[in-house]
Structure 1
């Protein structure tokens, strides 16, 4: 009996630390590395009757303990991803991990996945620029500490660009990459300033205080100049048209206002044409949504100014007038040009990345919302069949959207008891449906923002460490 117990004993040397256990215990998890140990194993030393493994003994204590507990518990003092690799070495299936450790493991995996997204964005950005320009913007050569302090490190970087890049590449860097030089950063901020000025002009374009009597075109007998009308004619005109139409058709913008707007158009068009002419990859350039928006904004701004100068055409053809208003509406996309700041403010870029990686949540939100809109539209239409409040299902869908978003314009509303109940349920359901996916999207942004902060801090620490080592040598 004693010999049988002795033969059942197994001695394991893990990282020069001896562990003694029994074969019956190691057979607890079938198919694992330890359960398949025998005298033919490559790790077995017949002279000493010991199995040798070059692994971490501290981690192996928890691996061996899992055979006793019949489940795996991940120690909080160890990176769960390292422990997962240790489990893979010992061939322990992942389903043996205890439920109490799931959060610890999968949170680490999610954090690593988010960090990989941030790092891949950074790597793709560097590859994009180094491929076409042979330099990586923002990555200055490591100089001495004195050079870094007095700014000559930047001069070294500029010299590297001049040597490695062609004239087209330097212009491209100047226009598109603010980290390439101080002048490029100044240009970048000036571009944003012009965008803001253009947006302000758009907002005040039809304000009466910045409109003047018509001067852009010769007035014929059918033309109207609002500011030249007497009070009686002005009041009669108000009965037919609202103030917006009166200002748009019967006045012209102040000359200074028009001159600044034309300058913005010329500026955007010149920047676009110059950028396209020096762009190393025009197909990739126009595949970027941001660049397509620039093209649309330039075209729409130009069309609206041309129509402004020839506004009598709008009176003769309603389709042309509607086309101008559509172009004017699309010209409001100029505000999106402010997202050019994403290359300077990394957090803004992370917000866009978070939206990109939240498409599943957004599609879930849209799908669920549309299904409920149709359901409540049909229910309220049936509930209010005896009233004249909802003549068709298109209006009931409008009501459902407004109610679920808790806006409640009050233009259409139920009048029956069952309709009131449906309205309450629809509003509450809308709050719940909208809140759940938005929380998930916010979580994605929060995780990516945190990982990006850690990544940027690590990059700065690496650069500082290289600078210190270079200074010592």
Structure 2
């Protein structure tokens, strides 16, 4: 190649200083001219290496670029030109910003190709990158869970397989039709139990015991016992089949399940054994207090309602806004209650006896509830009340919009992640089908041996021409992924 007339000797200009060297870079059809004094600010980057690679021959040149024109001293790269325009800002401004519409993961891959450190990426852009990484990890986790459900490990014993089947049966309604029926039954039992708890407090439906005390109707008590039996069986089966029992026991929703079941058994123990240890009246008071705890079972609905789960997450992400709301209200309550107490002292029939008592008036006024049990009687007091509820409306309205945005953002994100996980599975099925066709032609015996290990997913998933792929599920590093076309 050295003797080819098309390639003049690249060592002829070695004596030229690198600081004065000029190179032309063509990235995806976009030509850029660079000078060595700018590029050598960051000598470890790929562009800086281009300035210094001319003395190393064509092997050194083609190890850095896709093609090279020695006559024009032009280097060709088959890369994203939009991302490249952002990356070269590091040589002029010392920092990099991503343009709107560029996928953060793809931009990170471009930075790695051009050997530019991520520390030059601005903090606002790093936030987008971290969010996209979290989304990828969540999609990979969902795909892996589905694959684990589809797969059957022949090395597992019968109890392990049975445990996995019970876990899918109780925890994943989408896995089969019987599991969906169990989820619907659990939902109905929660509703029935909640209705029985409310109906049991109606005096006309209560009965009188031998001591003259009112108690729930025996029929309602029997329905309550049946519901508790269902909840108990459900919790025990889920606990036995749980892969991580410690995590299961400490989970918030499972603690709610225990709180919904425990009062029944504690009341039963106190009713039969407590009379021997304490007075009957104390036992009845304790039983009544425990029965009130049955309201905790209404939170079990969150297990079967994605809307309640989304609302819970939105409130968690809105702690800052909720804290601001409470702070605004606290300041307003203190100020307006003190003003109201001071202005109403001149009236002989004032209802504002003290500032702490005025707190209640300020709370119901700023929240626009207005029970009317405490109200001002002087002109200045009424003016203070008018200002207080106007300020209360403003204080409550300000943080509402961010909270609603958090709810909508999380709800839409969950739908996108669910769809992305399905696309990943469809692509894996497509790749499996293509690999099957190729292996059938070239190495049929190897495919038969290896196809047994992956047949569980190919027999259950649909085929789709999707360009989706998550490299987190593969040992190899793929740069051309679905994220190249992220919107």
Separation in 2 of the partners of 1:167 and 1:57?
51
Contact kept, 8 Å, 2:206 with 2:216, in 1: the verdict is: yes
Aligned pair partner of 1:12 in 18, 24, 48: 24
How far did 1:381 drift? 3.0
Within 5 Å, which residues of 2 pair with 1:185-204?
A: 185-204=180-199
Alignment partner, residue 362 of structure 2 = 400
Distance 1:268 1:92, change over 3 A: closer
Q: Could you say what secondary structure the match of 1:136 adopts?
A: helix
Distance 1:167 1:329, change over 3 A: same
Contact kept, 8 Å, 1:44 with 1:50, in 2: the verdict is: no
Separation in 1 of the partners of 2:236 and 2:345?
59
TM-score of the pair, normalised by structure 2: 0.64
How far did 1:36 drift? 12
How far did 1:92 drift? 11
Alignment partner, residue 59 of structure 1 = 82
Distance 1:351 1:119, change over 3 A: farther
Distance 1:455 1:333, change over 3 A: same
Q: Could you say what secondary structure the match of 2:353 adopts?
A: coil
Separation in 1 of the partners of 2:245 and 2:155?
25
Alignment partner, residue 174 of structure 1 = 169
Within 5 Å, which residues of 2 pair with 1:458-469?
A: 458-467=420-429
Aligned pair 1:330/2:293, yes or no? yes
Contact kept, 8 Å, 1:114 with 1:451, in 2: the verdict is: no
Aligned pair partner of 1:42 in 44, 52, 64: 52
Alignment partner, residue 415 of structure 1 = 377
How far did 1:471 drift? 6.1
Within 5 Å, which residues of 2 pair with 1:127-276?
A: 136-137=148-149, 140=150, 165-212=160-207, 214=208, 217=209, 219=210, 223-224=211-212, 249-250=213-214, 252-276=215-239
How far did 1:351 drift? 3.7
Q: Which range moved further: 394-403 or 82-91?
A: 82-91
Distance 1:193 1:53, change over 3 A: same
Alignment partner, residue 446 of structure 1 = 408
Aligned residues: 398
Contact kept, 8 Å, 1:12 with 1:18, in 2: the verdict is: no
Contact kept, 8 Å, 1:43 with 1:51, in 2: the verdict is: no
Question: CA-to-partner distance for each residue in 1:297-322, whole Å, 9 max, x for gaps?
Answer: 21223456778999999xx8776555
Gaps of 5+ in 2: 1-18, 58-69, 438-487
How far did 1:204 drift? 0.9
Aligned pair partner of 1:378 in 322, 338, 355: 338
